[in-house]
Amino acid sequence: MLIDTHCHLNFPDAFPDPAAEIEAARVAGVEALVVVGIDLESSEAALRLADSFEEVHAVVGMHPNTAGEAPEGWLSQIEALARRPKAVAIGEIGLDFHWKDTPPDMQMQALLAQLDLAARLDKPIVFHCREAYDELLTVLEARGSGRYLFHCFSGDLDHARRALALGGILGVDGPITYPKSEALRELVRAVPLDRLVLETDSPFMPPVPYRSKTNHPAYLSLICDGLAQALVTTPEEVESATTRTAKAFFGI
Ligand SMILES: [Zn+2]
């Protein structure tokens, strides 16, 4: 069975009927879904889904692109959410220097505060990082190894090696199926299979043949197949290794 380690069924505009999404995913072999928050509202929504559906687990946190608009006292609210039983990690947090919605120094403050929170609560961390791998990895290297998941990894091989040296694991998404993703396929071949997990990032980044459409957790097996092709192994092998790693990381 597969685990979608990163999806946004907590985005009601994209997913007005999450129950139908969860059922379609189950039929497609997805046994568990990790729903990830990007701000207070979506983190609460992730927990509401997790409380309603046994196979759903929540990740709560303030995304770098929303940190600039976070209300006063947001950190203690995230902490309260993170203490609830089905909150399995802090995320998605990090740095995004592509979309400059939030000034970099504010992104850094939110990142550091949530790294401290995760340490205090002994929770693993899901990172969002775009065009800021050097900066993020430098911060983490100063703090030491940890339970780090680099969601939708888009760094280069050197970044991947640094992430692995910190004990990190890498999320693989729809782009592994894109014809132009040869560099990504080469990169994953240099990563031990037990350091990779599968994610859809629904509703974003759909795999082939659904590009430009809405992505769904039920499409996860296409990403599993794409990774298996890149690694020249079987989907069964990828499925069992990534599921084992995801369960260990999130403690589910
Ligand atoms: Zn996400």
Query: Domain 2-250: which CATH class?
Result: alpha beta
Measured in Å, residue 183 CA sits from the centre of ligand 1 at 22
- Tell me how far the alpha carbon of residue 73 lies from the centroid of ligand 1, in angstroms: 23
Over residues 223-249, the pLDDT tens digits come to: 999 999 999 999 999 999 999 999 999
- What is the C-alpha to C-alpha distance for residues 17 and 180, in angstroms, rounded to an integer? 33
199 CA to middle of ligand 1, Å? 10
Distance between Cα 201 and ligand 1 center (Å)? 5
Q: Is-above-0.85 flag for pTM?
A: yes
* CB atoms inside a 10 Å sphere around CB 44: 18
Residue 179 CA, ligand 1 centroid: distance in Å: 23
Residue with tokens 């505060």: 113
Residue 100 is predicted with a pLDDT of: 77
Measured in degrees and rounded to the nearest 5, phi and psi for residue 150 equal -90, 100
Mean pLDDT in residue range 11-34: 98
Residue written as tokens 């879904």? 33
91 CA from centroid of ligand 1 (Å): 9
Query: How do residues 124-179 score in pLDDT, each as one tens digit?
Result: 999 999 999 999 999 999 999 999 999 999 999 999 999 999 999 999 999 999 99
Element holding 188 (H helix, E strand): helix 182-189
Centre of ligand 1 to C-alpha 128, Å, is 7
Ordered by start, the domain boundaries in the chain are 2-250
- pLDDT tens, position by position, 88-127: 999 999 999 998 789 999 999 999 999 999 999 999 999 9
